[in-house]
A and B are shown apart, each in its own frame.
Chain A
């Protein structure tokens, strides 16, 4: 590849936050017509680098060149004007505006002053339609963005990002909430843009996707630049080794099963739980020390089951027994009192309280369980948080840092720490590994196993079937919001797939 094709070059980028050197001498080179993967564990500095490129933050040192010209993006808008656009994990379309309005937002065509100089809505729609057609995306431009499925919103967000002649397109974990077909559609779009000469930076935790679509890989570790590799020359184990700085032992092997035989009463037993339009009546049982995996496609009722069991949504029918006793479980507060815990799928919306400290976030569920009168004073909270931060290896400038400042994987660990603090009887984990890098995933799985070995009943929900197979003692397979079947632990992925697709 000749240097003539280089679109963006970032050299020796450094950026510190209070207590953390997030980036230290990082290099990045993006070339026209290439898809470039940015890889690294949680907290490696990927998000920070992206925020520097898009002008959210400014670097402490280092320079950024765009087409051989030094640039210093001051704000996301400024970055866009320079030709650097980004699409984030959760698409940032405005749900209450139409697709056309979203795509043209900020650069609405104006009517000539002779006709009032207002926004030319017809031209807005025409431009949006033309752009989508050119990119081969089939969306009605008059539809409200909020009404679109997540995948189409993602495509529309990409379209919006490239609408203003982007030279560099940054995709920050765009696939984390998409299923296989949707990923394929997104990749088709990415290839089209690549062929039009856009330099694309692609961030993901899915290794297979890297090898499917990327040409080169830049690896970061602990805020430092590890290297830039051609995809063809670095295989997956090599990539993981570069990311974590060591060979991963047993990444693909099963986690040791320590199935308690004949544990008498189930820790949680739900009979006939159902909610109209969400989940058809089903029975679920988890014994102490058991990990029950839940597998199924998007929309199969995985999350709905978890929400019903935890009392987040009211159920139309069904009884829930804890340790053999029928209990009243109508709201999450009841569930917490009964010794249940729930790590929700959507961390930002229903997991963390962003402006509260790591300490307060960790103490929250335990305090809620203890009620108003028994007060966990700040000293006790600190001790608890220090212990769990160390135990789970949460990377944070300190326990008093707002949790919103942590990287996604560390936020997730802190939410798990929140529940570990309550010593739950039953812990429901909905997609705990989403948006977490390989090494952290393995740590998390080991953590979950250890928890089960300690006698906690775990309900483990994941879209990644290999994970479910690897960690579970028993697998519950869902299809079309109903139970498709149950498999014993150690069943192969094929057995799970055949249950998922069987009709």
Chain B
């Protein structure tokens, strides 16, 4: 039991389990799953599906934080990618009543991802080459990015009518949401890249002691650039999921406050904000905790006007539960007892 509770993922998972139990107390049908129209239905599936964009963004954020960085522009990049994808897809009814897309779907999605990756690269260049503080460097794009997205959409909400586009955010594959498959796929790819190549060691070395990593011959600058680029790309993927899910792009609101939720998810998962120590699985659990919190607030029937206050209180409680110092307040007395077996 002691060994179990020392595992890095123990407290994030315990927190998630607690939230799920809390929910099923208020709503007995909460944990129920059913099979309808060839795929799974239920609150849990909704949570997984709705958490997917946050998971994707937070995975990118995890790596950035692991190399002692921070990217607060991800919300704006979500909006930019959403704008590019919806603009290029568009859709209009042709003579036969069929819906045609403005440009081929692959081009629209590819362009959106390319632009998002370029945004990440821009952040990386500011941090690595210009030596800016990460929070300041990405603040620039956080502010400017929404402006760019608004410019692209002309201040309008761009609506898409081309059905194949909707599959990304609301489609199902093998009974599960496609968005979830995307997030899981990204996690799998990252996990392989970090455990089957030297990337994981390099990232932890850079995060742990950048100067020592450089002296040891690690190409810190190049790796850091890649990490920021990947974070932008991940935000772009999230942008596709978000815009596909709502079949439109709203430059003002798409990805709003995503950066904060992503940082929170990373922290909840047990990644150190000081860099070096990180866990991808923890981040995924962190994202699920946040999404479950949101569902909890709905299922508790909290009125919208106190929504944020309740969320803040829950986040506060969750963070306290995860704080080793706070927990030690309760365990110290037992440990200090000399008679207790160790």
Contacts and interface: CB of A to CB of B under 8 A. Distances in A.
Interface of A: 310, 312, 331-333, 335-337, 342, 344, 349-356, 360, 363-365, 367-373, 375-376, 418
A372 B199 contact: yes
Interface string B259-283: 0000000000000000011000000
Given A353-B209, A355-B276, A355-B277, A342 B204 contact: no
Nearest to A350: B211
B202 to A, nearest CB: 7
Contacts of B189: none
Contact of B211 (A331, A349, A360, A372): A349
A439 to B, nearest CB: 27
Interface string B35-78: 00000000000000000000000000000000000000000000
A333 B201 contact: no
B214 interface: yes
Interface string B199-240: 101101100110111111111000000000000000000000
Given A333-B219, A368-B217, 11 more contacts: A312-B214, A342-B215, A352-B212, A354-B208, A355-B277, A356-B204, A364-B205, A365-B216, A372-B197, A375-B197, A376-B198
Nearest to B219: A333
B196 interface: yes
Closest 8 CB pairs of A and B: A336-B217, A368-B217, A353-B208, A350-B211, A353-B209, A365-B216, A364-B216, A367-B198
Given A368-B202, A376-B198, A355 B208 contact: yes
Query: Could you say which of B197, B201, B202, B219 has the most chain A C-beta atoms within 10 Å of its C-beta?
Result: B201
Interface residues of B, number: 21
Contacts, number: 81
Nearest to A335: B217
Contacts of A344: 215
Nearest to B217: A336
A405 to B, nearest CB: 14
Given A360-B204, A360-B205, A364-B205, A370 B198 contact: yes
Contacts of B216: 332, 336, 364-365, 368, 418
Contact of B201 (A312, A363, A418): A363
Contacts of A355: 208, 276-277
Contacts of B198: 367-368, 370-372, 375-376
A353 B212 contact: yes
B325 to A, nearest CB: 14
Given A332-B217, A342-B215, A360 B276 contact: no
A337 B215 contact: no
Nearest to A334: B217
A367 B201 contact: yes
A243 B202 CA distance: 39
A371 B202 CA distance: 10
A372 B205 CA distance: 14
Nearest to B275: A355
Contacts of B276: 353, 355-356
Contacts of B199: 372
A356 B206 CA distance: 11
Contacts of B204: 353, 356, 360
Contacts of B213: 353, 364
A36 B277 CA distance: 41
Contacts of A354: 208-209
A337 B216 CA distance: 11
A356 to B, nearest CB: 6
A337 B218 CA distance: 10
Contacts of A418: 216
A367 B205 CA distance: 12
A356 B205 contact: yes
A188 B250 CA distance: 72
B71 to A, nearest CB: 22
A331 B217 CA distance: 8
Contacts of B277: 355
Contacts of B211: 349-350
22 contacts: A310-B215, A312-B215, A335-B217, A336-B216, A342-B215, A349-B212, A350-B214, A351-B212, A352-B209, A353-B205, A353-B276, A355-B208, A356-B201, A356-B208, A356-B276, A367-B198, A367-B201, A368-B217, A368-B219, A369-B217, A372-B197, A373-B197
Contacts of B209: 349-350, 352-354
Nearest to A402: B208
A212 to B, nearest CB: 35
Contacts of A369: 217
Contacts of B205: 353, 356, 360, 364
Nearest to A369: B217
Given A367-B198, A371-B198, A332 B208 contact: no
Contacts of A333: 214, 217-219
A482 to B, nearest CB: 25
A334 to B, nearest CB: 9
Contact of A332 (B197, B202, B214): B214
Contacts of A371: 198
Contacts of B217: 332-333, 335-337, 365, 368-369
A350 B202 CA distance: 15
Contacts of B215: 310, 312, 332, 342, 344, 350-351
A373 B213 CA distance: 18
A371 B277 CA distance: 22
Contacts of A376: 198
A372 B201 CA distance: 10
B190 to A, nearest CB: 14
Nearest to B222: A333
Nearest to B215: A350
A360 B201 contact: yes
Contacts of A364: 201, 205, 213, 216, 218
A331 B215 CA distance: 9
Nearest to B274: A355
Contacts of A336: 216-217
B231 to A, nearest CB: 18
Contact of B212 (A350, A363, A367, A375): A350
Nearest to A418: B216
A367 B219 CA distance: 11
Contacts of B197: 372-373, 375
Given A335-B217, A364-B213, A418-B216, A372 B208 contact: no
Interface string B263-307: 000000000000011000000000000000000000000000000
Contacts of A360: 201, 204-205
B113 to A, nearest CB: 22
Contacts of A367: 198, 201-202
B169 to A, nearest CB: 33
A121 to B, nearest CB: 29
Contacts of B202: 367-368, 372
Nearest to A381: B201
A163 to B, nearest CB: 30
A364 B197 CA distance: 13
B291 to A, nearest CB: 31
Query: Could you say which of A344, A354, A363, A364 has the most chain B C-beta atoms within 10 Å of its C-beta?
Result: A364
Contacts of A310: 215
A314 to B, nearest CB: 13
Contacts of B219: 331, 333, 368
B242 to A, nearest CB: 32
Contacts of B208: 353-356
